[in-house]
Structure 1
Amino acid sequence: MTSAKTFNFTKPALIALKLPDSGSRIYYRDTREKGLILDVRASGTKSFYLYKKIDGRPERLFLGSFPDISVENARKAASVLKGQIASGKNPQQEKRNIRDEMTFQKLFDEYMSRYSKQHKETWKQDEDVIQNHFSHFLHKKISAISKNEVQRTHVRIGQHNGTYAANNAVARLRAIFNKAIEWGWQGKNPAEGIQEFKEVSRDRFMQPEELPRFFAALNEEETTIRHYTWLLLLTGSRKSKVTAMRWADIRWHQQEWHIPNTKNGDPIIIPLTPQAMEILNERWQKALVECGQSAKKPKWVFPSKKSKTGHIACPAHSWKKLLETAEIENFRMHDLRRTLGSYQAITGASLQIIGKSLGHRSPEATLIYARLHLDPVRAAVEKATDAMFRISENSVAMNNHS
């Protein structure tokens, strides 16, 4: 820095300073606070800086513009910064780090390509959650996202989308920042320690009086949606599993579906009822016709040319329309899974059998599951399925009689 004139900074004195010629600037140094300087430019701008060497390198740290910041406040700010420097911090380098730091958009893109799409079956849900609930963070530097902002967003999601959706969204955001830390980012996870909503376990399953309306509405649906929904119910599997069902995992002779890539590396074996096999056979015949003379075999049970994955996504809009037609309220697609389990219980299946049919893998149940043969599991699923159909048929018969 060029030589600076030195005097005791006061408000009247700074107001009275003459402006330099066009294209030049003048520096003034305060006699009371060492290192405090005032940069006066021809445009009339007067700026306070702390001038100090940090690690042998001269640095200018901007404090504020006069008169927006008073002389006393400029002195206090300079004193605070000097204290931080004395303790080993470099405020100027921290500013440079923030300037060069990645935005949340860049972190999210890296998380998706480097981790989520490589290791998570629910990667599409990561995309949906960030776009639907945290898009206002995308342009921000990751260190600028505060815990308070995350907490406020969590509350807003809870008010509009429910407590489960809010907790799930924050958990996904937390995972992204945990990966950033694992990859070398030095900041704190803003989603850590967020007070989550207390979740009440759902016990909703389709009631006997709802089954006929549901089945009737379902049978009027377009083929793909109808088949997809039937298989959700008949297998008790999760949405993400059925959307990504592969022909290679169907064991036609054993009438089983072997779901790969589970957490412990072992496949989950789902018994396929006659109704499920009928649907799969119809879709397989259709897939063969569509392939024609091509040597390439069909891969997905529910293919989609519009999807990047090659298979359909969860048909949320069609599901909503289906429930409206059937006049059924407060029923989620995941409740179909609970419906199968509930009707197994109603028809006398044990908790262990139900757990195996739904693919539960809790550590406490592992030894029990290891001793279970699949035949009683298949029998329980078929018995529950038959019970649901009988309820539906009896209801239709009574309605016709009346």
Structure 2
Amino acid sequence: MKLHITDENLENLQRPNSGTLQVIDNDKSFFQVNVGKYKTTFYMVTSRRSRNFRENLGHWPDISAEQARDEAIALHGMIRAGKTPRRKTAGAKTLREAFDRSIALREMDNLITPDTANQYRMTFDRHLTKLGTYSLDEIHEDDIYDLKMRLKDSPYVFKFIRAMLSQVYRMNSLPSPFISVTVMRTTKRDTKIMDHHEWAKQVFALQNPVLRNFKLLSALTGVRAGNMQTVKREHVDLDEQTLFLPKTKTNKNVTLPLSAVACDLFDELIQYSEARNKSWVFFSRKDKPLRYATKTGHDESAV
């Protein structure tokens, strides 16, 4: 029913014996009140960009009709201006608090490595500082859409954040606002696929034995470039024909068998390293692990 919502009219309104009676204000249709048998509640109801808003303004007579009307007008103005109303629930957990707890628990259970946890925290600090101050139930699809637009030139970063925070919402048994916002498609760059003959020709043409054998041994063993860079002389056992990797991507120690060809290549590198008093098998100018750019295949630090 429609009625000019005032304290006087609410006092004279007959309460229903069961269910609720919805009253819409004559002047401001977004200002509404639900009258039940024992409770009367004010609401602000509107929509924007195909999204419905229904904000609880409080109960009458704890809050007067005039106060509820003023708050409804203010909230409605915010929504029409494209802003999302922030009505924080008392004691609600902020996104930052929930995120920190999620990372701490996953680290404790060895589900992620410390390096991965630090990467998550750095990403949060860089892109989610403002959202981190809001409680989990305050964040809406509009906020995620705005974040998506800010990161439109970095779709992989948005995809990473979306997966990272969806996990936070799952751990708190809340629906994630990230799910309804799709990840932007990226255009694939034209890449030249090199056949093995051309690859071998380029590798064997390299004058630097460190970089040449690095590429050959990576291909022979299947070891990731990041692990191969940090191999030391004591990690290679030529008698047993094994390679020890102290820390892999899964944070585990691995011992791999080596073929005769791989042993010959490692033997050449170890002698080359010992002659220059280096501790690393694949070393750079300052006796540090080889800095190898895996995307370009080019390295300027090898000696």
Class of the TM-score when normalised by the shorter of the 2 chains: 0.3 to 0.5
Structure 1 length normalisation: TM-score?
A: 0.38
Higher helix fraction (1 or 2): 1
Structure 2 length normalisation: TM-score?
A: 0.47
